[in-house]
Amino acid sequence: MRFISWNVNGFRAVLKKGFEEVFRDLDADIFCIQETKMQPGQADFHPEGYHEYFHSAEKKGYSGTGIYTKEEPLSVTYGMDGKHLDEGRVITLEYPDFRFVGAYVPNAQNELKRIDYRMEFEDDLRAYLSKLDETKPVVYCGDLNVAHKEIDLKNPKSNRGNAGFSDEERGKMTELLDAGFTDTFRYLHPDETGVYSWWSYRFNARANNAGWRIDYFIVSNRLQEKIEDASILTDIYGSDHCPVSLTLSDFK
């Protein structure tokens, strides 16, 4: 089973930059997008053979998530136990043997001015995923807005303490993994350097590969043996992020 996650930085914009061809070529069973920046009905993309679910922010042109899936889920949930609904950040699909959670984690912003909300979100998310994991294994993905280790960004020393590489945010990622979850890319590529999923639009960052790995697929530990491939698709353009992928073997 193949999963794709991509922060598209504006769904209507990326639709003009070859998204349909990328979507078709990747042929994912579940394709999750973040930062859709749109309200319901504003994008005309309805691929044959897929069910689609979108969660828009109340604020227009901001945040938002969406999922395209070949198999119709048993249930669809927005937010986390009724919380964090206003910014359209979390969608959960339930299937017979697992749950899929797509998320766009809040950015702590300059000078960490939103760090308190970010910490609240992280704690609620960890509790939510752990609760889901009690009954079915979880596949969790999205733009998680954190480079966990120094290996996960080009310039760790100069970025220490900045949004996405603060001790607080990195610590919450550690807490999540310690709660029974696996970072699939690092599981298969524990020492690989220079592979990132986001680059600033400034300073020719992508051309210089001065990037950050902040997009993830994270799974329940009991799915480790099914991790066949976890990749970062750096050759795909259209956003300041590139897609990330996960393939689980013997999995439906």
Looking at the annotation, which residues are catalytic?
104, 143
**Can you read off the two tokens belonging to residue 206?**
């992508």
Question: Are 108 and 145 a contacting pair, CB within 8 Å?
Answer: yes
Residue 47 to residues 28, 68, 74, 154, 171: CA-CA distances in angstroms? 12, 9, 20, 36, 39
Residue ranges of alpha helices (H) inside the chain are: 11-14, 19-26, 115-133, 156-159, 167-178, 184-188
- What's the CA gap between 6 and 33, in Å, rounded? 5
**Can you read off the two tokens belonging to residue 74?**
């048993």
**Can you read off the two tokens belonging to residue 38?**
């749109």
